[in-house]
Structure 1
């Protein structure tokens, strides 16, 4: 396949990674996911100063920008209404950061757990109740995201059924709620929980797929290795991506940000991306 027809890779980076990989990001105006804005400490601290510094580092960048939203310490479907209020407030703070950064996408984590897969149907209303609790958390956030032009993409974490969170996203009936796939999380679920392989997650998401975390793993844990260090079969994954017209952002999300270009080079050598 000609190099120019291959999908262009982006990366998830903090400020230090932006400094290191700035030239690589700008050479093809790659998509970037900014990861300094997801912790409570960040959002309660000088996030605006970080955002302004980040914007300066991205001067000249015209690719798509997103952030990873907050996720530590909570789930979107908390039973406690006070906790749901805190979660909504944190997500609103993250939308404030999006506005300063010029970001139009935010990653949020799926509420589905491995336990849910086996137990939601124990209760006749289990799935409906989870969905309603998630709506109560996200209702004001989705309304704000719609007004701001930000898309919330729901990322698989422990999800064993790749269709469940796709249906959850669709239940909002909003262009501001779509789907993300994390390849390493899917591979963990496949290897350790009996879930389908990674390419099935891509196909299940279909045209709702707007974002992908590309990371390699061994099927046992959440490794965030560069592609080539684990056991994911990348050709079927990219074949599934290539069948879509939704143009998802292809974001290398690695534990070691110094290996971003090495991971990209592996996918380039396979003839899958650039």
Structure 2
């Protein structure tokens, strides 16, 4: 087998059935994306999870899920919203147990507004960390007990270091860093953030998950790789300095182009 990293993908269970042979030709990591929807989590998620568990039997790649994120911020100033965050993430970990997943993607609390104002208000940085601990501290502990890892994905993050320091503050192997390349590209092009490969340097070996998508620096495109402006060689060169073996997950809107995205990386000599 080639020494190139094996590229995985994010998809629903229905899409996995479509790409079944592709996902099994190599030990491709999968991120299941059915279970971020609150209506499903409050409904018959167990039957969907049971179907996923059966379908994934024999899958050789690592299994993760995208956790809930719609409608809340994990550092919300409202304690009632933080209680909802805990509820949703407990539901997400229930799903992880049911499908055999050992990683759950969650979203960073840092906004573009934060970047310009965290040093404008007293104790603002510490307050974000404190509220996040209140919201998910018990979730991190449960993840530890399960052998699961929460990975915190950049969304609007302009400063790639703030999220990393938040992760470090938990002093737990059950929470780590995720990078979404398209989000970083948007932040670089539209809000003055550093280039995409700098996000890897900031994370270092705390990086355990990557969303691979292409973009134009203006919006969150989720284009197939090669359709945007991201410079993939320096990004993968930065990844090559790590020993944390992050999951490299193609996350694009047009799921029919997942194999083409992987083929594009292969044509560049970056992945397989």
TM norm structure 2: 0.99
Partner of 2:216: 218
Q: Give me the whole-angstrom Cα distance separating, in 1, the residues matched to 2:77 and 2:200.
A: 30
Q: Give me the whole-angstrom Cα distance separating, in 2, the residues matched to 1:269 and 1:54.
A: 32
Partner of 1:16: 14
**SS at 2:160 equivalent:** coil
Partner of 2:74: 76
**Cα RMSD (Å) of the superposition?**
0.7
1:22, 1:58 within 8 Å by CA — same for their partners in 2?
no
1:12, 1:33 within 8 Å by CA — same for their partners in 2?
yes
Post-superposition offset of 1:208: 0.1
Partner of 2:243: 245
1:22, 1:57 within 8 Å by CA — same for their partners in 2?
no
Post-superposition offset of 1:245: 0.4
Partner of 1:159: 157
Which of 111, 114, 122 is the aligned partner of 1:113? 111
Q: Give me the whole-angstrom Cα distance separating, in 2, the residues matched to 1:132 and 1:20.
A: 43
Post-superposition offset of 1:256: 1.1
Post-superposition offset of 1:67: 0.3
Partner of 2:198: 200
1:155, 1:182 within 8 Å by CA — same for their partners in 2?
yes
Partner of 1:123: 121
Q: Give me the whole-angstrom Cα distance separating, in 2, the residues matched to 1:134 and 1:164.
A: 13
Partner of 2:51: 53
Post-superposition offset of 1:124: 2.1
Detail structure 1 runs of 4+ shifted over 4 Å in the superposition: none
Q: Give me the whole-angstrom Cα distance separating, in 2, the residues matched to 1:259 and 1:17.
A: 12
Post-superposition offset of 1:59: 2.1
Aligned pairs (5 A) from 1:131-146: 131-146=129-144
Which of 257, 260, 263 is the aligned partner of 1:262? 260
**SS at 1:239 equivalent:** helix
